[in-house]
Amino acid sequence: MSSNPERGSVLVADLVIGAVIVFVLAAAATAVGMVVDAGQSSREAARSAAVELARGVGRGPAIRRAERLAPDNAEIDHEVVDRSVRVSVETEVRLPHPLFLSVRVPIRSVVEVPIAPYRSGP
């Protein structure tokens, strides 16, 4: 029976390729997480403001709540369309990139809520 000294050995190139793959997967997961988080925050901010405006809460308190819930530097806009309130939240997520300084991903969430007579009691 002949023995092969390289059988079962791991080459340095294999270790380098493995490390690069792990790094790329971690960077991709981080980027996806940042975009999803910004999208969820924008949607929640738009939904919260739209519901409050539809219930008759003043513009100031509703927009301030949306600003607290929205990502930093988000633009919040609202309008009344027919019998509903439409609130949009727009922002950008900057992702680091090895060749460019950063890649910008635009996020826009729009929520429309009907204006209805809400009951405050039983």
Angle at 38 between CA 31 and CA 35, to 5 degrees: 25
Look at residue 90 in the predicted model and tell me its pLDDT: 96
User: In the 8-state DSSP scheme, what is residue 54?
Assistant: H
- Decide which of 102 and 66 is more confident: 66
pLDDT digits (tens, 9 = 90+) for 26-71: 988 988 999 999 999 999 999 999 999 998 888 899 999 999 999 9
Which secondary structure element, helix H or strand E, spans residue 25, and what is its range? helix 12-54
Mean pLDDT (whole number) for 80-102: 86
List, as one string, the DSSP characters of 55-119: TT--HHHHHHHHHHHSPTT-EEEEEEETTEEEEEEEEEEEEE-SSSSEEEEEEEEEEEEE-----
